[in-house]
Amino acid sequence: MSSKYKALKQECYEANMELNALGLVIYTFGNVSAVDRENGVFAIKPSGVPYEVLKPEDMVVLDFDNNIIEGTMRPSSDTKTHAYLYKNWDDIGGIAHTHAMYSVSWAQSQLDIPIFGTTHADHLTTDIPCAPPMSDELIKGNYEHNTGIQILDCFNNKNLSHKEVEMVLIGNHGPFTWGKDAAKAVYNSKVLETVAQMAYLTLQINSNAPRLKDSLIKKHYERKHGKNSYYGQ
Amino acid sequence: MSSKYKALKQECYEANMELNALGLVIYTFGNVSAVDRENGVFAIKPSGVPYEVLKPEDMVVLDFDNNIIEGTMRPSSDTKTHAYLYKNWDDIGGIAHTHAMYSVSWAQSQLDIPIFGTTHADHLTTDIPCAPPMSDELIKGNYEHNTGIQILDCFNNKNLSHKEVEMVLIGNHGPFTWGKDAAKAVYNSKVLETVAQMAYLTLQINSNAPRLKDSLIKKHYERKHGKNSYYGQ
Amino acid sequence: MSSKYKALKQECYEANMELNALGLVIYTFGNVSAVDRENGVFAIKPSGVPYEVLKPEDMVVLDFDNNIIEGTMRPSSDTKTHAYLYKNWDDIGGIAHTHAMYSVSWAQSQLDIPIFGTTHADHLTTDIPCAPPMSDELIKGNYEHNTGIQILDCFNNKNLSHKEVEMVLIGNHGPFTWGKDAAKAVYNSKVLETVAQMAYLTLQINSNAPRLKDSLIKKHYERKHGKNSYYGQ
Amino acid sequence: MSSKYKALKQECYEANMELNALGLVIYTFGNVSAVDRENGVFAIKPSGVPYEVLKPEDMVVLDFDNNIIEGTMRPSSDTKTHAYLYKNWDDIGGIAHTHAMYSVSWAQSQLDIPIFGTTHADHLTTDIPCAPPMSDELIKGNYEHNTGIQILDCFNNKNLSHKEVEMVLIGNHGPFTWGKDAAKAVYNSKVLETVAQMAYLTLQINSNAPRLKDSLIKKHYERKHGKNSYYGQ
């Protein structure tokens, strides 16, 4: 049986497997999705399936209102958060959610990750935001959908652009990252985990460590992402 | 030579090997058992045998009064703790004991592990209990049997259900976990170790980190274990 | 097509791959160069190329004024720092730059790494210097060239010899290391990371840990590097 | 060419390779020796040779006065410490020295490792001693020989038995461990590193963590090493 979403499901599958290979998840934790903007659908990992037995054809395809378009398995329990982000941010191509150690620990501490160095500034120019836990009402309601709202509210309140800041921590829960495709979303999960560990160690060594100065933030971000960038090929 | 306990010993062997593969033990540390309720027996790892040379037929089969039913080797030195738990909790199918780094360190600190996030709440709704060290009298007596008593006393005093809370720390010693079968007991050992490390890091980042709010605890536990759960297939 | 720099590029390639194998970098982070003093050129990793797809022929050959002599790819964004060091220190043969976890965290803390033990003294007799972040003017100017200046200023101000101290931290950024060839530069990156982690842990255990006494510093350094050294073959 | 010490050199070689496989050393750090009491000699790793190229025939055989009996390479720079211990403790069969992360960090902190749990008590009943750094005079003198003296002085001052306590930290330097043979010495290095990390984490979680109570120390040590031990086969 062929599927018009075969390539999409393959991309989604490979990104999920990479999440596991990078050590960002154990067991059935975490999930990655990939979007097909032309058809208005995204593919996502099925819920509760261990990475070792996951197959490309297991990926579930849904539209942005969470209707299953293709697939026989139940999609990830976090699916509605993905759908909400795809619907509202029409320029992102993939989303990843992990339970990586340092990212989750910062989320549990309910603190933004301060920008301490150029590894951080190579990727974004602000602290990594930690969205506060939701109100009880929102938690008891359409929880995963509301998690998406919580992310957008956080970005609005902090005046952040999701095009530059491709990552967020959900207080007490963990990280969501996104990017131009699923592979970039997974890349951002790994970068976030690395930066989270570096910030943790920095504060253990020097609890008064200063934030990176503006000129250095700008220099490192611009040389990689500015219009006169000279990083990469 | 065939054995009526061949499948039981195989299950037990595989769970022990998984404990080692997950990095939760070194050398001969740790042990897993699996129960056969129909025959009123359990299989357990022999004492002091390195994982690299362990074989399925080495597993020792005992009844719940610690009589050896099958096997030529000496069973794990912690066997009586397993027997006591099987005898008193007739709905568990496997038990695991490790010397995993973060679990043991919390046990050595004699503190419960606070519930800080949803990774924790996906598995249980309370802090992970740390049973206090036993009285000198109990230690000098039937020590491993009394460790079982200590676990039950801890659950009674804290009004916990072993059906929901499938893990405990023994103060100064380390963790015991259990579940519907030996594989689930091992899974719980890995989850405990992960949650223990996250809680450790959370407190290092923010010594005033708040416990997870009740609505989030309930939401995450229920979506995975409640009657309207929507996690998994 | 043969190249007179084939051996140089091979040396450079192998040192870059070793950086990755040692776990000192992820993705496209980090870079190593190797010098050919006779021809007044050095080979360096191309910018933004993942280690998994890197090939010896991808290495870019430049002179010490940053003119590309051979190669079709854009060189590492940190190339000018390498060129400046080669031009000013005419006895070094290789340079490495990493984003290794503990080295970067010390750099982000803007503190020298104190000499606490013989593992450190086996390699150098002083604290590992952390150069302060540059002035805004220097950052906005010829940044990577100025990073080289910053390193030399740091060594002059602290009265250090680059022949003995083959490593430095750039405040808020990360480590640069060097040596008689590219392999030694990579070796020094690994030693720095190890010593950085040991110093971190030492201060966590005992915030008043004393620096290594002078007689021990001298003894360990001399037995490995002094004229009567008796370490090695 | 056959050698009467072939088996001894093989034992020594395998123990050194195990040190490396266990992640307790990098590059050329660390060394293990094995003794042949009948012939009054021991074999030890040659100095400064990477583990990847080490061969059994490279091991150097010496008597207890540091005369080379067989071998063409220079022995480990720590050889005299090994010789001194073999000469004074005539019931040990192997010695190991590592630069393992947590063991060295405790040594650099110049603190004994407190006995916090049963993982520790399964192996010894006291804190793990940290010998203070030597006087300047002893350091400038026959340093490695004097390190041996320092270890014995430490054991005498603290009234410890080397038969029970098979490990020591040398302040600012690192650990030495020993045992009935070279493999046991390496085992003890791994146990020490594990216990050192557990004690580190315990104090980070609870800076007032109590030492293990005497009855538990005795119980765990005796069940493994006492005359009525019931651990192992």
Q: D212-233 burial, b if ≥16 CB within 10 A, otherwise e?
A: bbebbbbbbbbbbeeeeeebee
Residue with tokens 């050199």: D9
Query: Which residues of A are identified as catalytic?
Result: 122, 231
Candidates B55, B229, C144; CA nearest to A220 is: C144
Task: Please report the sign of the dihedral spanned by the C-alpha atoms of residue D20, residue D21, residue D23, residue D27.
Answer: positive
The reply to whether A47 touches chain B by the CB within 8 Å rule is: yes
| D residues 108-127 closer than 8 Å to B (CB) | 116-119
Taking contacts as CB-CB distances below 8 angstroms, the residues of chain D near B173 are 117-118, 216
Quick check: C119 and D29 CB within 8 A? yes
Identify which of B194, B215, B231 has the shortest CB distance to residue A140.
B215
Look up D231 and say whether it is catalytic: yes
| D residues 177-216 closer than 8 Å to B (CB) | 187, 190-191, 194, 197-199, 201-202, 204-206, 209-210, 212-213, 215-216
When pLDDT is cut at 50, 70 and 90, the band that residue B2 belongs to is: confident
Give the pLDDT of chain C (233 residues) as one tens digit per residue.
578 999 999 999 999 999 999 999 999 999 999 999 999 999 999 999 999 999 999 999 999 999 999 999 999 999 999 999 999 999 999 999 999 999 999 999 999 999 999 999 999 999 999 999 999 999 999 999 999 999 999 999 999 999 999 999 999 999 999 999 999 999 999 999 999 999 999 999 999 999 999 999 999 999 999 999 999 99
| % of chain C beyond a pLDDT of 90 | 98
Q: Which residues contact A159 (CB under 8 A, 6 or more apart)?
A: none
Quick check: A46 and B233 CB within 8 A? yes
Summarize the confidence of residues D49-70 as an average pLDDT: 97
The reply to whether B225 touches chain A by the CB within 8 Å rule is: no
Q: Which CATH superfamily is domain D6-225 in?
A: Class II aldolase/adducin N-terminal domain (3.40.225.10)
The token duo for B222 is 């229920």
Q: pLDDT tens digits for B131-161? A: 999 999 999 999 999 999 999 999 999 999 9
- Among chain B residues, the shortest Cα distance to A173 is held by B118
Quick check: C201 and D136 CB within 8 A? no
φ/ψ (deg, to 5) at D63? -90, 180
The pLDDT, as a whole number, for residue C2 is 76
Quick check: C232 and D110 CB within 8 A? no
Please count the other Cβ atoms lying within 10 Å of the Cβ belonging to residue C57: 15
Q: Return the residue in C68, C104, C128, C136 with the most chain A beta carbons within 10 A, the one to mutate for interface testing.
A: C104
- Rounded CA separation B225/B215 (Å): 15
Bridging pattern class, strands D94-97 and D68-70: unpaired
- Rounded CA separation D216/B136 (Å): 8
Q: pLDDT tens digits for A147-172? A: 999 999 999 999 999 999 999 999 99
Q: pLDDT tens digits for C47-84? A: 999 999 999 999 999 999 999 999 999 999 999 999 99
Quick check: B201 and A29 CB within 8 A? no
| D residues 56-75 closer than 8 Å to C (CB) | 73-74
Gap from B141 CA to chain A (nearest CA, Å): 40
Identify which of D73, D74, D105 has the shortest CB distance to residue C198.
D105
When pLDDT is cut at 50, 70 and 90, the band that residue A1 belongs to is: low
Quick check: A117 and C143 CB within 8 A? no
φ/ψ (deg, to 5) at D130? -115, 110
Residue pair D17/C201 in contact by the 8 Å Cβ criterion: no
Residue pair B46/B60 in contact by the 8 Å Cβ criterion: yes
Query: Which residues of B are identified as catalytic?
Result: 122, 231
When pLDDT is cut at 50, 70 and 90, the band that residue A2 belongs to is: confident
- Among chain A residues, the shortest Cα distance to C103 is held by A198
Taking contacts as CB-CB distances below 8 angstroms, the residues of chain D near C212 are 172
Q: pLDDT tens digits for A98-133? A: 999 999 999 999 999 999 999 999 999 999 999 999
D48: left (phi > 0), else alpha (psi -120 to 50), else beta?
left
Residue pair B104/D117 in contact by the 8 Å Cβ criterion: yes
The token duo for D162 is 């080397």
Q: pLDDT tens digits for C178-193? A: 999 999 999 999 999 9
Question: C16, exposed or middle or buried, with CB in 10 Å at 0-12, 13-18, 19+?
Answer: buried
Residue pair C128/C112 in contact by the 8 Å Cβ criterion: yes
Report chain D's mean pLDDT, rounded to a whole number: 97
Candidates A18, A77, A17, A68; CA nearest to A43 is: A68
The pLDDT, as a whole number, for residue D2 is 76
The reply to whether A222 touches chain C by the CB within 8 Å rule is: no
| % of chain A beyond a pLDDT of 90 | 98
Look up C122 and say whether it is catalytic: yes
The reply to whether C142 touches chain A by the CB within 8 Å rule is: no
The pLDDT, as a whole number, for residue D1 is 57
- Among chain D residues, the shortest Cα distance to C202 is held by D105
The token duo for B100 is 């995993």
The DSSP result for D42-68, as a single string, is EEEPBTT--GGG--GGG-EEEETT--E
Quick check: D110 and C210 CB within 8 A? yes
As a 3-state breakdown, chain B gives helix, strand, coil percent values, each rounded to 5, of 45, 15, 40
- Among chain D residues, the shortest Cα distance to C118 is held by D173
Q: Return the residue in D205, D217, D231 with the most chain B beta carbons within 10 A, the one to mutate for interface testing.
A: D205
Q: pLDDT tens digits for A194-227? A: 999 999 999 999 999 999 999 999 999 999 999 9
Strands, DSSP E only, in chain C? 31-36, 41-44, 60-63, 68-70, 94-97, 130-131, 167-170, 174-179
The reply to whether A26 touches chain B by the CB within 8 Å rule is: yes
Residue pair D231/B48 in contact by the 8 Å Cβ criterion: yes
As a 3-state breakdown, chain D gives helix, strand, coil percent values, each rounded to 5, of 45, 15, 40
The answer to whether ipTM exceeds 0.95 is yes
The DSSP result for B165-231, as a single string, is --EEEETTTEEEEEESSHHHHHHHHHHHHHHHHHHHHHHHH-TTPPPPPHHHHHHHHHHHHSTT--S
Candidates C141, C206, C134; CA nearest to C170 is: C134
- Cα Rg of chain C, angstroms: 18
Q: D160-190 burial, b if ≥16 CB within 10 A, otherwise e?
A: bebeebbbbbbbbbbbbbbbebbbbbbbbbb
For chains C and D, count residue pairs whose Cβ atoms are closer than 8 Å: 86
- Among chain B residues, the shortest Cα distance to D201 is held by B105
Between CA C162 and CA C160, with CA C222 as vertex, the angle to 5 degrees is 20
| Domain coordinates in residue numbering, chain A | 6-225
Cα B210 to the chain's mean position, in Å?
27
| % of chain D beyond a pLDDT of 90 | 98
DSSP C128: B
Gap from D17 CA to chain C (nearest CA, Å): 18
Question: C94, exposed or middle or buried, with CB in 10 Å at 0-12, 13-18, 19+?
Answer: buried
The pLDDT, as a whole number, for residue C1 is 57
pLDDT higher than threshold 60 for residue B203: yes
Q: pLDDT tens digits for B51-77? A: 999 999 999 999 999 999 999 999 999
DSSP D203: H
Summarize the confidence of residues B23-30 as an average pLDDT: 96
B84: left (phi > 0), else alpha (psi -120 to 50), else beta?
alpha
Q: Which residues contact B225 (CB under 8 A, 6 or more apart)?
A: B164
Q: pLDDT tens digits for D106-123? A: 999 999 999 999 999 999
